[in-house]
């Protein structure tokens, strides 16, 4: 008897692709304003990335996950979380809503959870479909590597629209020498300068990996702290509070209630009506990209 093939869900980290697309083009002064003079460069880049990913990975279903506002539970845990990031450029601000609207117009299902990051929603979707679907996540965020497991690939976007640095669980373990979940413990020690939390001062990536490989986790290191060299012991003892807080900040929450069904995540048809609407909204680059990737229905 033939076994039924599992669905393949493509999950897009919408905000990551929007930001990457905006800065890649704005650096060259390209904003592609629409008829009302509103920039569209981030929206169009996001849509082109997403269309390309659907063409490359050939999923059976797809979803786009979004951050829903700048403030999340991590800001409540630590005032400095992402506090060092500058405010988004004024040319980007209107494109947040425009990107979600364009995504829905094209036929992609949008998901977002107030007070949580897209990472948490992506992690929860992976947990929800664990063992029941193959999953490919497209993002530019290496934090998502902690979500790797059998049946899950993380495709990190590179330069251009069709090059990806694809991680599987096996590749991660071979490259880092730890499990994907232990990546959280590594970040607890090293912190994350982009997200604005320091980890333990004086503990760099190599030392963090050494400690995790030997003791298994943050808790394992703390339990064996008397075995460490005096210098490492002092650094960790001095930074203990931030170590524990950094681990909470680094961990992607995978326990959100996911109200998603395969029926609401179909692969859309990029037909003439969609392309005409994209053209009318000033998204001509997206329309041409669709024409280059898909046969008109």
Please give, one letter per residue, the 3-state secondary structure of 67-98: CCCCCCHHHHHCCCCCCCCCCCCCCCCCHHHH
Domain spanning 178-250, CATH class: mainly alpha
What percent of the chain is modeled with pLDDT above 90? 85
Cβ-Cβ contacts under 8 Å for 27 (sequence gap 6 or more) = none
Q: What is the pLDDT of residue 295?
A: 52
Of the chain, the end-to-end C-alpha distance in Å amounts to: 35
Which residues partner with 157 through β-bridges? 164
Which residues partner with 10 through β-bridges? 62, 136
- Alpha-carbon separation of residue 37 from 28, 41, 92, 166, 238 (angstroms): 18, 12, 13, 37, 53
Q: What is the pLDDT of residue 297?
A: 40
CA pair distance 199, 259, nearest whole angstrom: 34
Can 8-175+253-293 and 178-250 be said to share one CATH topology? no
CATH code for 8-175+253-293?
A: 3.40.50.1010
Total-model pTM: 0.95
- Given a cut of 80, whether residue 92 has pLDDT beyond it is yes
Residue range 249-278: average pLDDT? Answer: 90
Q: What is the pLDDT of residue 127?
A: 97
Q: What is the pLDDT of residue 70?
A: 81
pLDDT in tens, 154-212: 999 998 888 999 999 999 999 999 999 999 999 999 999 999 999 999 999 999 999 99
Domain boundaries, the chain: 8-175+253-293, 178-250
- Residue 103, classed as helix, strand or coil, is helix
């Amino acid at each position: 008897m033939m076994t039924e093939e599992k669905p393949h869900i493509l999950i897009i980290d919408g905000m990551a692709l929007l930001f990457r697309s905006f800065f890649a083009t704005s650096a060259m002064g390209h904003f592609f304003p629409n008829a009302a003079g509103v920039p569209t460069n981030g929206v169009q880049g996001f849509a082109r990335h997403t269309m390309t990913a659907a063409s490359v990975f050939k999923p059976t279903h797809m979803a786009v996950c979004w951050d829903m506002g700048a403030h999340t539970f991590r800001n409540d845990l630590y005032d400095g979380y992402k506090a060092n990031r500058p405010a988004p450029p004024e040319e980007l601000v209107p494109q947040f809503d425009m990107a979600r609207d364009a995504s829905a117009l094209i036929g992609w299902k949008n998901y977002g959870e107030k007070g949580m990051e897209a990472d948490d929603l992506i992690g929860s979707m992976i947990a929800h479909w664990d063992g029941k679907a193959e999953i490919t996540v497209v993002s530019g965020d290496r934090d998502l590597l902690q979500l790797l497991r059998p049946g899950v690939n993380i495709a990190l976007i590179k330069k251009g629209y069709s090059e990806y640095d694809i991680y599987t669980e096996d590749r991660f373990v071979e490259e880092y020498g730890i499990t994907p979940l232990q990546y959280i413990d590594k970040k607890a020690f090293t912190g994350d300068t982009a997200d604005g939390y320091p980890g333990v001062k004086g503990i760099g990536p190599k030392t963090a990996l050494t400690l995790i490989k030997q003791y298994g986790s943050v808790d394992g290191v703390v339990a064996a702290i008397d075995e460490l060299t005096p210098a490492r012991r002092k650094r960790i003892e001095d930074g203990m509070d931030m170590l524990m807080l950094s681990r909470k900040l680094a961990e992607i929450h995978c326990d959100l209630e996911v109200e998603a069904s395969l029926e609401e995540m179909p692969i859309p048809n990029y037909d003439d009506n969609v392309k005409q609407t994209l053209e009318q909204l000033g998204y001509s680059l997206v329309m041409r990209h669709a024409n280059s990737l898909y046969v008109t229905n």
